[in-house]
Amino acid sequence: MGIGFCYPSDRERDAQSGPLTAPSAGLGRGRTNLMITWTEDQLAECRCNLCGASNDVHIFQRPDGLRVVQCEDCGLVYLNPRPKDELIPELYDKSFFTSRSSIGIGNYFSDKTRIAKISDAKRSLLALKEAGIESFRKMLEVGCGTGEFCHVVHNRGTNVTGIDIAESVIAESRSRYEKIPFHVGTIKDLDPETKYDAVFAREVIEHLTDPDAFFGKTCALLEKNGFLCITTPSFECAERVGFDNWHGFFCSFEHLYFFSSAAISKYASKHGMYVVCTLYGGGNGQKGNQSMTREVIRRMLTWTYLLWPVRNLLWPVRKIRRMMRPMLSQNYQAEEIRHNLLMVLRKCQ
């Protein structure tokens, strides 16, 4: 029973088949027109992962047809129904890391992405330094991808281990950074006797089928006073800009959960941790029409044979912008709610 994809014409033909067929998301240039679709027999009802209640209220329907709900007892936001657990691994084949569509994150294997991820790693570490966390001896990164964060931390003298469920990115990380141990698997596969004073899970928990088990296992792997650093799209940003306008509901349809700082704080308390700091970074989180406007302009220039002359004219400006992008990127801060949430949790003594 495989996952289905369709093109816009297919979506139009299937529009009468019910709410589980995905409509167009308007993904714009640079993204394939493929949209993931689910049938009713591929979905399963679920309870709230945080408090176990089945008292949820529908708050939004994503463009892929899946319902976003919020637990009325604890406030956790998640998909219900959602894809069955056995289908989730199919989302993370090599194409997930090499293309950008309704799921997928672009080309993880390009030099451009590698440079961007190294810059992002340095920004995350700078945020931790400003929060008073400057060094750690032994670190685990869950969902390490192609290993750039591990590489940056390893170069600062830390004993580093990386783990990811995708064989393709682990193979790439091993070839890039031979001195760092990388493993294929999940946090459940790790030796429970091996302890770490720092665990990082950057853009991971929104993908998990059981975040509660993740928090429990992570706490068990931490030394006393060890810390867990999490980044994830911020549901508080969705509340600020409006659900119809939040970027997080219109892309990355592999996401199963949408976390607020309050929800993560409750997970922390449940598993013997407390919050050290809460920061926000990234853009403003608003879904814009910039890509559509850009596509219209590109087509007009193509029709008038001006595309390449204009590109050549703007090439120096684009090169300078690419060079400045890491410096202009939004650093993590505490004052303003933005698209990305960073939280540091510390294990109680």
Three-state DSSP state, 106 = coil
Coil, strand or helix: which one is 215? Answer: helix
Query: 343 φ, ψ to 5°?
Result: -130, 140
Which pLDDT tens digit goes with each residue over 56-65?
999 999 998 9
Cα 51–Cα 62–Cα 234 angle in degrees, nearest 5: 55
Phi, psi values for residue 228, rounded to 5°: -115, 125
CA distance to 62, 78, 157, 326, per residue, from 254 (Å): 11, 12, 35, 27
Position 325, amino acid = R
Residue 13 pLDDT more than 70? no
Nearest-10 crossing angle of helices 290-303, 307-328:
150
Percent of the chain with pLDDT over 90: 54
Whether residue 3 is predicted with pLDDT greater than 70 in this model: the reply is no
Residue 82: predicted pLDDT: 95
Q: Which residue has the higher pLDDT, 4 or 45?
A: 45
Task: Round to whole Å and give the CA distance between 34 and 11.
Answer: 10
User: In the structure, what pLDDT confidence band is assigned to residue 309 with cuts at 50, 70 and 90?
Assistant: confident
Per-residue pLDDT at 34: 56
- pLDDT for res 20: 39
Per-residue tokens: 266:
């409750």
Percent of the chain that is helix, strand, coil (3-state, to 5):
40, 25, 35
Q: Quick check: 185 pLDDT over 90?
A: yes
Mean pLDDT of 263-274: 97
Start-to-end CA distance of the chain, whole Å, equals: 47
Scan for tokens 């960073």, then name that residue: 342
CA dist 321 and 36 (Å) reads 33
DSSP, collapsed to helix, strand or coil, labels residue 202 as strand
The pTM of this model reads 0.80
pLDDT for res 50: 97
Question: Which one-letter DSSP state was computed for residue 243?
Answer: G
Q: How far apart are CA 106 and CA 111, in angstroms?
A: 12
Q: In the prediction, which pLDDT does 18 show? A: 36
Q: What is the CATH number of domain 111-285+336-347?
A: 3.40.50.150
Mean pLDDT is lowest, of 17-31, 173-187, 302-316, for 17-31
What is the predicted pLDDT for the residue at 217?
A: 96
All structural domains of the chain with their residue ranges: 111-285+336-347, 290-328
Quick one: pLDDT band at residue 33, thresholds 50, 70, 90? very low
Dihedral Cα 56, 57, 61, 67, nearest 10 deg? 20
Identify the pLDDT of residue 66.
95
Spatial separation of the C-alpha atoms in residues 116 and 128, rounded to whole Å:
19
Q: Quote the mean pLDDT of the chain.
A: 82
Which among 278, 241, 235 has a CA at the least distance from the CA of 50?
235
pLDDT, one tens digit per residue, over 220-258 is 999 999 999 999 999 999 999 999 999 999 888 899 999
